A and B are shown apart, each in its own frame.
Chain A
């Protein structure tokens, strides 16, 4: 069983929809939770991160962490065609610049 599970999709939604992307994990040592966005043939770029449980909002993006359920989510409001990409969750126990554990990524397609 993988440490981090993520539905690969693809997930197709109409423009303006609210998108929910999720990951589950098994390692209770994880404290920092990140979401990366990867456009086709590009490297992943960090969208946002959260520490421990709770919510964090950045514009149209909201990240949620529920450590009791070992479940994290990324919500995208008013989705745009430019949001079409693969979204990867990543986790680490601390900021000690160690290797991150990634989910396999969810491919999102926002239809105009």
Chain B
């Protein structure tokens, strides 16, 4: 167990629908990252939050949004879902903005299937 908790583990939904993915970072970690992993694109950075504030944006679609709450958990909202949004969505966390080592800890992911 990495300490990063993601729910749900699996999600099947129809095109046009809206879903919310949830992430609880490791205890004490202030920074949360969301990544999308699809077969043809690999791991793509979506967005980063640090202590409740948006820190960096990657290739996140306008249909997608995220937030980090005061208790540091984060939610990724995906709306107007399309078949191409089917992917694994990973959350990762790290303790502080700048540390003595790079990288961060990933959760086990949410597998989203849009039908």
Residues on A facing B (Cβ under 8 Å):
32, 34, 36, 41-46, 49, 88, 90, 92, 94-105
A46 and B56 contacting across the interface, CB-CB below 8 Å: no
* Cβ-closest chain A residue relative to B96: A97
Residues of B within 8 A of A46 (CB): 103-105
Considering the chains assembled together, what is the distance between the CA atoms of A88 and B108 in angstroms? Answer: 16
Do A44 and B90 contact each other (CB < 8 Å), given the known contacts A49-B103, A102-B42?
Answer: yes
A104 and B97 contacting across the interface, CB-CB below 8 Å: no
- Which B76-115 residues have a C-beta within 8 angstroms of A? 90, 92, 94, 96-109, 111
Considering the chains assembled together, what is the distance between the CA atoms of A41 and B88 in angstroms? Answer: 9
> Which secondary structure dominates where chain A touches chain B?
loop
Question: Chain B: interface residue count, which band?
Answer: 20 to 34
* Cβ-closest chain A residue relative to B48: A99
Cross-chain contact of A32 among B2, B96, B97, B102 (Cβ < 8 A): B102
Residues of B within 8 A of A32 (CB): 102-103
Residues of B within 8 A of A100 (CB): 45, 102-104
Q: Give the Cβ gap from B72 to chain A, nearest Cβ, in Å.
A: 14
Considering the chains assembled together, what is the distance between the CA atoms of A36 and B35 in angstroms? Answer: 14
A102 and B102 contacting across the interface, CB-CB below 8 Å: no
Q: Does B14 contact A (CB under 8 A)?
A: no
